Structure formats: C-alpha cells, structure tokens
Amino acid sequence: MKDIKKYQGVIPAFYACYDAEGNISTEGVKALTRHLIAKGVKGVYVGGSSGECIYQHVDERKAVLEAVMSEAKGKLTVIAHVGCNNTADSVELARHAESVGVDAIASIPPIYFHLPEYAIAKYWNDMSAAAPNTEFVIYNIPQLAGTGLTMSLLKEMLKNPNVVAVKNSSMPTQDIQMFKDAGIAARGKGNFVVFNGPDEQFVSGRVIGADGGIGGTYAVMPELYLAMNEHINKGEIEAARAIQYDADRIIYKMCEAHGNLYAVQKEILRRMYGLELGGVREPMPGLIPEDEAIVAEAQAMIEAAIAKL
Ligand SMILES: CC(=O)N[C@@H]([C@@H](O)[C@H](O)[C@H](O)CO)[C@@H](O)CC(=O)C(=O)O
C-alpha cells in the first residue's frame, strides 16, 4: 500500500444528486463535493448504496464520478464504487474510474444470485484487472448484497496485491478484527485497511480496529463523525460515545419517515445549506407531507448536537 493515511478518517458515502426531472444533476454533485471539502472530511465514497448506484445507468455513474473528480481531485481521497449487477458493466466502470484518477475502486459481491466464492473472486478480480494501477476495496454489506465476505474468500482475494481494504458494513464489529487480522497477516501491519460501515457503530468499530469509516449519514452531519474520530484518536472514549449516542438518536429519527433515509438527508441538506440534490429514484419511496415533522425534528437534533461539540 502506498499511503494508508489517505484512508484514515471520515469518508462520507456520496449521495445521488438529481434535478427536478429526476436526472443526474452534475451541478448538484459539484456543490455537494465542495460542501464536503469545506466541512473537512477525509474523502468521499462515490456510487455506493447511499449513491443509489443500483438504480443508475453506467453512463450516469461515469458522469457523477467525473463531476466529483472535477472538484475533489487532489483535495479528497476518492473511492469509486464500481460494482454493477454484471461483470461487463463493472469492468467498464473500473476502467473509467482509473482513467479519471481515483484513489481506489470498490465493489459489492454479485447481487441477487448467490454465487460460489470462485465466481465472486473472478467478478472482483476482473474489475481489478481493468484498473491495474488502482487499489481495490472489498465492500462487505451482507444485509443489502445478500452475500457475506468469508475468511476463505478474503484470503483468496488477498492473492491480488491491489486488494488493500475491506469496507465492512456487516453488524458484528468482531468482523472488523477478523478481516484486519487476515489482512495484516498477508500484507504486514499498516498495509491493510478496514473501514467501519454501520454509522451507529462508528465508535465501536474504530475502537475494535477500523482505520476509518465510510457511512451514509456522515454527509448530513459530518461534524459529529469528525468529532467522534478526533476523540477516539485522543483516547477520549466517553466523549466519543456521547456524540455517537446523539448521532444514533438522529439516525433513528430520520428512519421514522415514510420517505427513504436518503430522501430525508437530502432534504435536510437543502434546508440547512441550500443544496439542491433532489429526491430519490423509484422504486425508493420519496418524502410525503406527513414526513415534515420528522424532517424538521431531525434537522433540529443535528443543529443541537453540533452546537454541543
Ligand atoms: C446498510 C447500509 O446502508 N449501511 C450504510 C450505513 O451508512 C447506514 O446507512 C447507516 O448506518 C444508517 O443505518 C453504509 O454502511 C453503506 C453506505 O454508506 C454506502 O455504501 O453508501
């Protein structure tokens, strides 16, 4: 690994930015990128779950990444999620991601069909071969992908020198330790990264060994995760935990809405900062009028939690 420091920190999962007609808004993408740079985050994770990648076409995902890079290159660590529901499209996005100079590519395992581990390894290695000069991050998110990363599959993938990290969104924080142990055994200390995925467990994940975090709620309240991370780095666990509790209460409140969490978060960013990022793409449910009180309360909770820092 060239530089582990570029992965150590708070890396928001980037949101899908749509215009009024529901098409990709590159202006919205650039505005959100500038906003996150100003907030002081370490990087961005583009085209993941929070980016609604599964609902977008290959050309749309290329346009989003190019718009992010036009603002972020040299200022943020950029990890591009390139996984699609087939190998050919994933390979095309991997090649494109390398061509625009991302720091790393990432991918979920194949979704819908539960494939044998040798097929999952080939899916990932084909993407990596299309981006031979780019580091590769395995994205473990069994609750959405339907397939979990096993130790045998990780050991197989560690034969690929470009595999430098796991983004671990599984809920057992012990998985972070197991993946870290295997990575260090293969690469040596300081040469393998595990990112914490569940935002509700940012502190737990960092304490058990995650080098940084990638999360879908970071972008709506980056100040909280930046503060948690700083407290953890100083060994101030009690202070980090207090902020984690605030963040969790906010996540639970946002999840009460009829509209999807991503729709709630984008609406809060519009109200707090004037960022026009649109709604969510169907079949994901958008906000309904009855969500107003929930959105307003979640925004007030975010503002109060930031004021306490
Ligand atoms: C299952 C899931 O979506 N997990 C999220 C979390 O950030 C999640 O949104 C958060 O913990 C709220 O539950 C991330 O691990 C994934 C993610 O942020 C992404 O790929 O966009």
Q: What number is the ipTM of this complex?
A: 0.97
Gap from CA of 200 to ligand 1 centroid (Å): 9
| CA gap 42, 4 in Å, rounded | 12
Residue closest by Cα to atom 15 of ligand 1: 197
pLDDT for res 73: 95
Taking CB atoms and a 6 Å cutoff, what residues make up the pocket around ligand 1?
13, 48-50, 141, 143-144, 169, 197-200, 215-217, 251
The verdict on whether residue 120 carries a ligand-binding annotation is no
| 3-class DSSP assignment, residue 76 | coil
Domains and CATH numbers, the chain: 5-234 (3.20.20.70)
Q: Residue 244 to residues 20, 78, 143, 206, 223: CA-CA distances in angstroms?
A: 34, 25, 22, 12, 12
Query: Catalytic residue at 167?
Result: yes
User: Which residues contact residue 236 at a Cβ distance below 8 angstroms, ignoring those fewer than 6 apart?
Assistant: none
Ligand 1 centre distance from Cα of residue 170 (Å)? 10
d(CA 126, CA 88): 9
139 in catalytic set: yes
Question: Residue 3: its pLDDT value, please?
Answer: 82
pLDDT digits (tens, 9 = 90+) for 55-107: 999 999 999 999 999 999 999 999 999 999 999 999 999 999 999 999 999 99
Q: Which of 36, 46, 141 to mutate to test the pocket of ligand 1 (most atoms within 8 A of CB)?
A: 141
Within the chain, which residues score under 70 in pLDDT?
A: 1-2
- The alpha-carbon radius of gyration of the chain (Å, integer) is 18
- Which of 7, 18, 139, 262 is flagged as catalytic? 139
